[in-house]
A and B are shown apart, each in its own frame.
Chain A
Amino acid sequence: MSILTLNNISKNFGETKIIRGIDLAIEDGEKHAIIGPNGAGKSTLFHLISGLHNVSSGSIVFKNQEIQNRPPFEISRLGLARSFQVTNIFHRMSVFENVRCALLWSKGFRYSFWHLLGRQSELNDAAMHVLEEIGLSDQAQYPAGELAYAAQRALELGIAIASGADLIMLDEPVAGMSISEAENAVELIRKVTSGKTLIMVEHDMNIVFDIADRISVLVYGEIIATDVPEKIRANPQVQEAYLGEVASSA
């Protein structure tokens, strides 16, 4: 059963066509990686799905509802969460507050100005639980902006999963990390997304082949292949797209 379907999605910025007619169906519970050279439009695709940009044409169906062109907060409430390539946290609030805010809507608080958060034990416990899962519970009181980079990325992940979303989209989650930090991060991702659907943009092929059930290859705004990792590895078109890139950066 497909939880997310993209039907012939296109996106133009003025004259420039960034996304050209993409069709994709993501299965419920699947771990799906999107790879491709820089500038292929991976982040743009994420922005289209999560509501940051409007599509130029086509439709996006999430849990049987059309979500294209809807504002991010509506889409998020349906159970779709995402993280960002550039760390996008609430830097002046404490680590704990960051996570607690991410939980608020799913716990039903809406725009309340009459609940005192200090007294909401279920909410606070849930927030501490998330912090434990991402390994930041002993840094709970520090302003988020003062954390080390890898810790901020963990918090980024924590905010995305806190609300219990069914579909989690991660945009280059381990970018900028050292090898050991990345290993820890991958373990964390595996742990927190078990049982959920994951779409991940990633450059590191080892991680991709490790986690993904299926891989889509995005080149110049089009998907040239969607398949299981072994078949992608053997696909000549993919090799050309990547070999060309690898050779030029050598």
Chain B
Amino acid sequence: MGILKAIAKKSPIWIAYLAALLGLPLIFDSILAISIFNQMAIGIVFALSYNMLLGQGGMLSFGHAVYFGLGGFLAVHTLTLIEFETVYFSIIFIPVIGGVIGLLAAIFIGSFSTRKAGTVFAMISLGIGELIAASSLIFSDFFGGEAGISGDRTYGPTFFGVDFAQNDQIYYVAAIWVFIATLFMYLFTQTPAGRMANAVRDNPERAEFIGYSSRRIRFISFCASGLFAGIAGGLFALNYEFITEENLNAATSGRVLLMAYIGGLGYFIGPIIGAVVLTLMNSLLSNYTELWMLYLGIMFLLTVIYLPRGFAGFIMMHQVAWINNRIKSLAIPYLLIGLPSLVFLASIIAMVEMSDHEGEVFHYLGFDLDPESFITWAIVVGFSLAAYAGVRAALPQLKEAWESANTVPDNKDPKS
């Protein structure tokens, strides 16, 4: 009962979240949109689970895909078991299987890898990840070798007559799971273990001096994150009915790191933003250009250098201005710098794309660009230079506006 009360306090946000999750496919109901939403759902749970380790626990892992992948593999195998009626339960419980496997794997691996955080932990996670990914290619009976394994989610008892053959039906299952997973991961941060995870992240030495074994705390975070990564793996299995070694390996581990980092590690909502943004880039951009991975790489690197707190961090940076009620004063400076920035970005991308499309005319933002034409190049370069100048010109004004919007009234300044 008490938990319900706690939820009720923050309920407007959670209700909105649930409504968004359930309502999105009603607004965007194309097949592509549903597929994107399914991917986002998986990404959200996976990225949130990763943040339990990194953002909240301060543990950088390069092998988180192991729990995701193992969960997924067991989930697909379970689908097959259901198909042949060796076990028989509704597939809506498949993510539970994924979660259990993720938890068991995390308990085993965490027992020796959580002794330290930092570089040693990162290296162990990398080693374990590679070990398991490589082993999965060897044990091809279970992991299906390079081709992976597949299953069918339409078996088992139907759920109020639904057999989940269609993608939008499975999306609602995913949406409920995303809501439940998000809720529990959030609640974890409000518990003693969750808070001490933050403390151990900030200062493992001091945490020991208030009575807590840093190693134990890290172990608990590790297991919890494995559990939820496994659930994400189960969702993956349900959505794609197919899983391969790729879903265990360093590339997938890297992708979830990207999602969490770009979204913003220090905020609970960060990974959600990161998962949404990355899924959109992945699905939509890849239709327009072959180079989207290159752009992703550049964006990631720029984020690490200039926006170390991610998109969520960027939004939260405006907290003080919001409190001071000065947000509106930033609108025009942002516009003045935003427009030339966009033009600059567009022209740089145009140049990159032109280099890639050697010799063939291609369509870009409503124009037909010819890489062979000197005039086209001249125009694009000209735009980029003009835009750059525009950005430089608008920068001081933005700085000034930012500073004045962010001055804390004196009597509230903790440093005085």
Contacts and interface: CB of A to CB of B under 8 A. Distances in A.
A77 interface: yes
A88 B192 contact: no
23 contacts: A72-B209, A73-B213, A76-B209, A81-B210, A89-B202, A89-B203, A91-B203, A97-B195, A101-B199, A104-B210, A105-B211, A106-B211, A109-B192, A111-B193, A111-B196, A112-B192, A116-B2, A116-B3, A117-B192, A118-B9, A148-B414, A151-B414, A162-B210
Contact of A89 (B192, B196, B206, B220): B206
Contacts of A110: 192
B190 interface: yes
Contacts of A112: 191-193
A148 B206 contact: no
Interface in B204-240: 205-214, 216-217, 220, 224
Interface string B337-351: 000000000000000
Contact of B192 (A104, A142, A163): A104
B224 to A, nearest CB: 7
Contacts of B216: 111
Nearest to B217: A111
B271 interface: no
Contacts of B224: 113
A58 interface: no
Nearest to B58: A92
Interface string B1-17: 01101100100000000
Contacts of A102: 210
A109 to B, nearest CB: 4
A76 B208 contact: yes
B414 A88 contact: no
Contact of A142 (B206, B212, B414): B414
A244 interface: no
Interface in B373-416: 414-416
A102 B202 CA distance: 14
Given A101-B210, A117-B190, A163-B211, 13 more contacts: A72-B208, A73-B208, A77-B211, A81-B210, A90-B206, A93-B199, A101-B196, A104-B210, A105-B210, A110-B192, A111-B196, A111-B217, A117-B195
A81 B211 CA distance: 9
A11 interface: no
Contacts of A50: 209
B187 interface: yes
Contact of B220 (A81, A97, A105, A113): A113
A147 interface: yes
Contact of B191 (A82, A117, A147, A162): A117
Nearest to B10: A118
A139 interface: yes
A110 B196 CA distance: 10
A104 B190 contact: no
- Identify the interface centre among A77, A109, A113, A146: most chain B CB within 10 Å of its CB: A113
Given A104-B192, A112-B193, A119-B6, A148 B213 contact: no
Contacts of B198: 90, 92-93, 97
A105 B187 contact: no
A72 B202 CA distance: 17
A73 B211 CA distance: 4
Contacts of B192: 104, 109-113, 115, 117
A163 B9 CA distance: 29
Interface residues on B, range: 35 or more
Contacts of A13: none
B334 interface: no
Given A100-B195, A113-B194, A146 B414 contact: yes
B72 interface: no
B179 interface: no
B188 interface: yes
Contacts of A72: 205, 208-209
Interface residues on A, range: 35 or more
Which 9 A-B pairs rank lowest in CB-CB distance, beginning with the nearest?
A: A105-B211, A72-B208, A113-B193, A90-B202, A109-B192, A76-B211, A73-B208, A113-B191, A102-B210
A71 interface: yes
Interface in A232-246: none
B212 A105 contact: yes
A213 B161 CA distance: 81
A159 interface: yes
Interface string A134-156: 00000100100011100100000
Interface in A114-130: 114-119
Contacts of A147: 414-415
A88 B208 contact: no
Nearest to B3: A116
B210 A163 contact: yes
- Of the candidates B2, B202, B206, B415, the one having the most CB atoms from chain A within 10 angstroms of its own CB is B206
A88 B203 contact: yes
Contacts of A73: 208-209, 211-214
A93 B210 contact: no
A92 B266 contact: yes
A111 B96 CA distance: 24
A139 to B, nearest CB: 5
B202 A93 contact: yes
A97 B203 CA distance: 13
Contacts of B209: 50, 72-73, 76, 81-82
